[in-house]
Structure 1
Amino acid sequence: MNPVQTLFVVAAALIDGDGRVLVQQRPADKSMGGLWEFPGGKVEPGEAPEMALIRELREELGIDVERACLAPACFASEPLGEKHLVLLLYICRKWRGIVQPLEAPAIKWVAPVQLHGLEMPPADRPLIALLEALV
């Protein structure tokens, strides 16, 4: 059996004061373009997951998040071609700055139940029910 390379990805369920969750649309020129996802990205070699998420949220949304404001929520494990994706989802209710789409073509705030109606990547879908229970 050949070893499988594991790709670790972090994402945030940003929750606003009304209990809505932020999702962003993947750029059309990227893999799974046009699908809605939780903001985040790849964990670089030698990088702690929380630090990767703080970096990604700054790059993608222009916000600053403290490590203490990231609560581990759940994870998903999904084959992704020759690799295997492990998606770590954190809940975040506190950040500094105004959320703006710096890399995504669009963002929107939705009630957790509305996530079921969005086209999302396969790794994000199993997280919806868990997120509903936590919010």
Structure 2
Amino acid sequence: MTERILVVGGALYAEGRLLAARRSAPAHLAGRWELPGGKVEPGEDPEQALVRELREELGVEVKLVERVPGEWPLERPGYVLRVWAAELISASAEGVRPLEDHDALRWLAPDELWDVDWLEHDRPAVTATARWHATRA
């Protein structure tokens, strides 16, 4: 049986716009977009991991609002994605810096969500996130 690895993603909102990150690595994912986040480390709970990942990779502090319903399998066997809605609390939307494995960030208004080429495994997560956000906007 394949070990299950949890990956957490942040549906980071500022002024009603969702943050998307464009992959620069690995090569087969380069140019595609995803929600920022990363793997949960041993001994870490998912919420702690997401706050840590967004702090380390984007240089921001966030407030997690709630988990977006759903869980989505990733490209690598055993990896699954869970997403939490989050609010930016310590940086402006313009103050976010790119991730290590990313070369661009983009804030997307609700009518721009599908203007970027999302990774296949992020598409259902983005759909669920948009549905979640629409019920709270």
* TM-score (norm: length of structure 1): 0.83
Displacement of 1:89 in angstroms is 0.5
The residue that corresponds to 1:127 in the other structure is 125
Alignment RMSD (CA, Å): 1.9
More helix by share: 2
| Identity of matched residues, % | 37
The residue that corresponds to 1:43 in the other structure is 40
Q: 1:102 to 1:77 in 2, by over 3 A?
A: closer
Moved beyond 4 Å, runs of 4+: none
- Conserved? CA contact 2:72–2:124, under 8 Å: no
Q: Secondary structure at the match of 2:123?
A: coil
Residue type matched to 2:34 in 1?
Answer: E
Q: Secondary structure at the match of 1:120?
A: coil
Displacement of 1:25 in angstroms is 0.9
Runs of at least 5 residues in structure 2 that lack an aligned partner in the other structure: none
Q: Secondary structure at the match of 1:126?
A: helix
Aligned pair 1:106/2:101, yes or no? no
* TM-score (norm: length of structure 2): 0.82
Structure 2: distance between partners of 1:7 and 1:113? 33
The residue that corresponds to 2:5 in the other structure is 7
Query: Over residues 38-68 of structure 1, what are the superposed CA-to-partner deviations in whole Å (9 max), with x where a residue is unaligned?
Result: 11001111111011111110111100124xx
Residue type matched to 1:90 in 2?
Answer: W
Q: Secondary structure at the match of 1:52?
A: helix
- Conserved? CA contact 1:77–1:84, under 8 Å: no
Q: 1:59 to 1:116 in 2, by over 3 A?
A: same
- Conserved? CA contact 1:15–1:93, under 8 Å: yes
